[in-house]
Chains A and B, each alone.
Chain A
Amino acid sequence: MMRTLRELWAFFWRDLSIARTYRTVFVLEAIEALFGVAMFYYVARFVDSPQLQHALPQGGSYFAFSLIGFVFLDYLNAAMDTFDRSIEEARDAGTLEHLLVTQTSLPVILAGSAAYPFAMTTVRIAVYIAWGAVLFGFPLREANWIAVLAVLLATLLAFSGLGILSASYLLLFKRGNPAKWFLLGVSGVAGGMLFPISVLPDWLQLVARLNPVTYALDAMRAALLGGEGFATVWRPLAVLLAFAAVLLPLSMLVFAWALRRTKTTGTMMHR
């Protein structure tokens, strides 16, 4: 266990050390977040009305509703990108083979490669929400932070499975990420990001109920805006964990198979 943690820390430290050599990126991303939040605030001011607020699940402002949807899109994007980008970068830099001849197991290499990007995405989300709270009145007083953390963790686990499946595709076919485009596309329409899924036709609501993003957003809005605890969020949380319980082992099996296939065909380092 300690050894695994040390290995994960080594990956995190590697990525942090590399990121530290590009210092201005942190500042630029914080500024970008400010503009993003401001844009959502003014769009919300334009469309907000008592009827709209009444239609939203937590009855709050459209600004708070849509900002959570937007930052979660970032999380989903990171989950779908992180694993295959780390494989792609390792392949291009020639480090992939050197990672695979170490004594560290494949699941740890994958988890380690995702540790820093996930941490940074979480920080980025926090920056977005902090800008929203400080400058535009995003309501944080009600938030149940323990439930928020639990939802973040469950979301991370559920989305990671999808990211690893996407990395398996990259290993085999070298380019493209169809799962990402499909899921982001579906989630944009049927995920409850920018509008509640209750406005969708019945069949699209059914699609939304098969999408982990819907549950992540329901739970996050309930915990962050409604201040709900586990008594309320346990249901979407359980669904997210069920997604993770199915997707994570399945994705690891698929990835191991894809890696084995590239070892058979000799295409691991092909671009």
Chain B
Amino acid sequence: MCSLARHAISFGVPPNAISVEGLEKLFPPARSGWRAFLQPFEKPTVPALAGISFEVRPGEALALLGANGAGKSTLLRILATLLLPTRGRAHVAGYDAVRNARAVRRQLGYHAGSDLGFYARLTGRENLRFFGRLNHLSTSVIAQRISQLAEQFNLGEVLDRQVRTLSSGTVQRLSLARALLHQPRVLLLDEPTRSLDAIAAAEFRRFLKSEVLRRGDTSLLFASHTLSEVEWLADRIAVINAGQLLACDTANALKQKAGTPSLEEVFLCLTGRATHATAEESAE
């Protein structure tokens, strides 16, 4: 057991759902031609995360807000144990994401926000059963959870159809069902409504709020470009730019500090794009 988890248990304090301290990630530079062959052995020099620190408390929803390439997905993938950080530490439910990756995976559900990630010729139910089994659920628990999630996600009619015949929106719901199948304490969502239409996205958000967050036993860290989604779902918002954490607070606090009623303006102001945007608007 890692030191944070032991400490938390010995003092009876639940550990933070997520705790990130001075997290840095460097990638090797992209190469082309024959040098691409050596890329796996290149020294990482291109920064994606530059010393990020924050926490997500138990039951809290934290949104990661940033432009493309800001480092949101990199951060989520480190927490999901799919990437190794260059420096710094990341803990999920008290477990170190590098040293105790398996314990971390037990605590989290991961949804990458794409409609890939399923076996297209298997049915939704067969896919969920397979991933349930790999998450060490018994046959009866898998059946029970699938029926619960199918009802909550309105998947009942499509669950026995091959995934290749389902719409993007339905596959997204199926993907979230998979992430929740083993009742994780922490849910990591990377642009969860990216390929959903407006109605499906609204339903998806409503579901997250009413069925996942309301219970208070699941913490949520999600990346999104949709400001209304961020504002509606998140208790706090972390604004990231070029791998750095610029601010992390409630939407109201961020607006107050920036002196503006709009989250969009807060974002533009914090990321230094406000001047650019204003200049463009005046030019128009």
Contact = CB atoms under 8 A, between A and B. Distances in A.
A94 B44 contact: no
Contact of A101 (B48, B110, B114): B110
Looking at chain A, what size class is its interface with the partner chain? 20 to 34
A102 B81 CA distance: 10
Interface in B77-103: 77, 80-84, 86, 102
Interface of A: 3, 6-7, 10, 13-14, 17-18, 21, 93-95, 97-105, 172-173, 260-268
Contact of B112 (A6, A94, A103, A263): A94
Contact of B117 (A10, A17, A95): A95
Interface of B: 27-28, 37, 39-40, 42, 44, 48, 74, 77, 80-84, 86, 102, 105-106, 108, 110, 112, 114, 116-122, 126, 129-131, 133-136, 162, 178, 182
Nearest to B103: A103
Majority-rule SS of A interface residues: helix
B44 A264 contact: yes
Contacts of A93: 116-120
A198 to B, nearest CB: 41
Given A94-B116, A265-B28, A266-B74, A99 B134 contact: yes
Contacts of B136: 3, 103-104
B126 A17 contact: yes
A10 B136 CA distance: 11
Contacts of B118: 93-95
Given A10-B134, A100-B82, A268-B82, A94 B119 contact: no
A95 B48 CA distance: 24
Given A93-B117, A98-B131, A264-B44, 15 more contacts: A10-B129, A14-B122, A17-B126, A21-B162, A93-B119, A94-B116, A98-B110, A101-B81, A102-B135, A103-B106, A173-B37, A260-B84, A262-B40, A266-B74, A267-B40
A265 B42 contact: yes
Contacts of B86: 264
Contact of B130 (A14, A100, A105): A14
A21 B121 contact: yes
Nearest to B98: A263
Contacts of A268: 82
B119 to A, nearest CB: 6
* Of listed A3, A94, A102, residue having the most chain B CB within 10 A: A102
Contacts of A267: 39-40
A102 B27 contact: no
A95 B163 CA distance: 13
Which of A6, A105, A266 has the most chain B CB atoms inside 10 A of its CB?
Answer: A266
A262 B42 CA distance: 11
A97 B117 CA distance: 8
**Leading 9 A-B pairs by shortest Cβ distance:** A94-B116, A102-B134, A10-B133, A94-B117, A104-B134, A172-B40, A21-B121, A263-B84, A101-B110
